[in-house]
Amino acid sequence: MPLLKLLDGLQRWRGVVLASTVVVATIWLALTNQLILYIHPRYVVFTVIMAVLALVFIVASFALGRDGGDGHAHDVDHDHAVEVPSERQGALDRAVTVAAIVVSVAIGASLVIVPPATLTSATSDQREINSTGVGADVVSVDDANEASEGAFAAFTVLDWASLLRQSSDTSFYDGKPVDVVGFVTADDDDPENVFYVSRFIVTCCAVDAQPVGVPVYAPGWQDDLALDQWVRATGEFTTNPSRLSSQAIALDPDDIAVVGVPDEPYLF
Amino acid sequence: MTRQLESHQHPHEVRRRVTPGSVVWLAVGVLGLLGLFGLRVATADLGLAVPNQLQDFLTLSTSVIVESMPFVVLGILLSIAVQVWVPSSWMMRFMPRNPFARRAVISLLGVFLPVCECGNVPLARGLIIKGFTVSESMTFLLAAPILNPITIITTHQAFGWDDNILVARIVGGFLIANVVGWVFSRHPNQQGLLTERFASECRIADAHEQRDARFSRSVDLFRREASVILPALFIGSVVAGGIQVLVPRSVLVTLGSNPLWSILAMMVLAFIISICSNVDAFFVLPFASTFMPGSIVTFLVFGPVIDIKMLALMRTTFTTRVLVQVTVLVALLSALLGLVVNALA
């Protein structure tokens, strides 16, 4: 019964193998400073410590070896009886077991093969840009009134997006220079003329990423820019000339330059 | 007599760590790990032209796995500690005899064992093997993610004392865990609540208590728990990632301002997002401006226990029937809690 034996071995070691893929991927991401593509920086240390502990147990599992054969036959029998699909199980159960193995092996493989990436406009479309309120420690209109010109230049997409939610009074934005970096997503209502310079905010991990963005009025932007391209836009906010867009205020860009993906693509 | 039998059955027990066979396995394992690492380095800049949706699906699933894995490891380690290193009598000694008081104390165990919900599953499995009843372990599973210091601190950081969200979460989580524990303690066949596989594992553990050396037992437990929990985690993450890509978030957000619909929407959101209880308060904070406080509380009480990832993890231990019952019960109770908070607000 070589097949049963193989399946049995697979069952015994699948946890260690799957754990190895996660641990290897985690440690490599940490070494290359890319763990923040998946989790908030505050969890990086904890995640790495636990990955190293898991690594110790993985290596120890190997060192303890096959574990069957000598006097541990009861273990193997036990695993057989309950895990390996047997005649007692229906075809459906067997199919589910096989599907589960295939899915987890595929994901394990993707962990060590697929190059890490940031979320794309596909997700920001699903999650509707600026749809929810913003976090606790954002700039308020009052704070912004007292800030210096240099401070405005350092404002992120998130800072501006939260100000835009609070005030659509154009005089407030007069003389306040905007300089933001983000990726391009199209405006739902007026995709011809308006796009967003957007970022994702991550509170825990990429799963909870919420898109925020600054609307930019630039007719024909699609000739020069592609979706998901990273850009740096400078200019000032004015009344949005677009009739279709729901945004009252948009950036009137002085310059839109294509840039590389920043080291920290998410805002935290 | 037992001693003799043991030495007869395990002639190589003590020396097995240094047999040539195990050196070969160690070499194979380490080479395998190095191979994986090399593969990861080699494929780092692979120019895969993956469509956006697929790319995001992989990113989201990976992120659930990377985020949960440390808590799963911590849970497995604590489970090993409870099963192998803490004497059986020690933990039971502090437990009250009265079943209600006992469950109440158990629901506070999370204060000392601050693992997130995914780590709680291996820990709860360890507690059952160690002698907790099934309903008691369920109380622990429901209460510990909410009644633990990290969750309480992060919830306080996010909401302060606003709208009694923190108080409602703590009290509500405690009550729901104890009610559910009580309901399942009425079940005549406690072992019948467990999957056949886990139930037989409990019997094996009974029979072989104290047999192996502690270190090798610990490592063996790690291997076993990992092979049960990790496939479940992987599958839960894949489903959670897939749904994120397919279901537009706006469908839920538009329901936010209705007292009843906002609660249901938040339960669906909690179910889909499968986020850890230690951090879910930060996640839900931005919704506080559009959603009613009761629905936020529902999210914070329902989400830690019932979501896609957790159901996949809990399925390793409890039967499907039990999980459906727990889900319905917790959903109804947390919706009720949300309605009460909305009515008071």
pLDDT, tens only, B259-307: 788 888 889 888 887 777 777 787 777 677 678 888 899 999 998 889 8
Distances (CA, A) of A252 to A161, A249, A258: 15, 9, 17
B33 pLDDT higher than 80: yes
Q: How confident is the model at residue B253 (pLDDT cuts 50, 70, 90)?
A: low
Residue A238 three-state SS:
strand
Chain B: nearest CA to A67, how far in angstroms?
9
Cα distance between residue B337 and residue A240, in whole Å? 44
Mutate to test the interface with B, among A132, A200, A201 (most CBs of B within 10 A): A132
pLDDT for residue A152 = 79
Using CB atoms, which residue from A37, A81, A207 is nearest to B244? Answer: A207
Residue B100 gets which letter from DSSP?
H
Nearest-Cα residue of chain A relative to residue B269: A208
Chain A: nearest CA to B232, how far in angstroms?
8
pLDDT for residue A20 = 94
Of residues A79 and B196, which shows the higher confidence score? B196
Taking CB atoms and an 8 Å limit, are B63 and A83 in contact across chains?
no
Rounded to two decimals, the pTM is: 0.79
B173 pLDDT higher than 60: yes
pLDDT for residue A71 = 36
Half-sphere exposure of B292 (CA within 13 A, CB side): 25
Taking CB atoms and an 8 Å limit, are B59 and A119 in contact across chains?
yes
> Could you tell me where the DSSP H helices lie in chain B?
2-9, 20-42, 52-80, 88-93, 99-106, 117-129, 134-143, 149-159, 165-185, 196-207, 214-246, 250-253, 259-273, 280-284, 293-302, 308-314, 320-344
Cα distance between residue A234 and residue A180, in whole Å? 7
Cα distance between residue B129 and residue B201, in whole Å? 8
Contact B65, A22 (CB under 8 A): yes
Taking CB atoms and an 8 Å limit, are A126 and B43 in contact across chains?
no
What is the pairing mode between strands A178-186 and A230-239? antiparallel
Give the other-Cβ count within 10 Å of A258's Cβ: 12
Residue type, B329: L
Asked if B5 is an interface residue toward chain A (Cβ–Cβ < 8 A), one would say no
Q: How deeply is A263 buried, as exposed, middle or buried, from its count of CB atoms within 10 A (0-12, 13-18, 19+)?
A: exposed
pLDDT per position as a tens digit, B117-163: 777 888 888 888 888 888 998 999 899 889 888 788 888 877 888 77
Chain A residues with beta carbon closer than 8 angstroms to that of B12:
70-71
Distances (CA, A) of A8 to A4, A68, A77, B188: 6, 11, 10, 35
Please, which residues bridge with residue A182 across strands?
A231
Taking CB atoms and an 8 Å limit, are B26 and A59 in contact across chains?
yes
Residue A12 in tokens: 């015994």
Q: How confident is the model at residue B215 (pLDDT cuts 50, 70, 90)?
A: confident
Asked if A260 is an interface residue toward chain B (Cβ–Cβ < 8 A), one would say no
B41-47: long-range pairs with CB below 8 Å, 24+: B41/A28, B43/A112, B43/A113, B43/A114, B43/A115, B44/A32, B44/A115, B45/A115, B46/A113, B46/A114, B46/A115
pLDDT for residue A104 = 86
Asked if B7 is an interface residue toward chain A (Cβ–Cβ < 8 A), one would say no
Residue A189 gets which letter from DSSP?
S
Residues in CB range of B264: below 8 A, 6 or more apart: B255, B335
| Model-level ipTM above the cut of 0.95 | no
Cα distance between residue A223 and residue B127, in whole Å? 62
pLDDT for residue B6 = 40
pLDDT-flagged residues of chain A (< 50): 68-87, 135-136
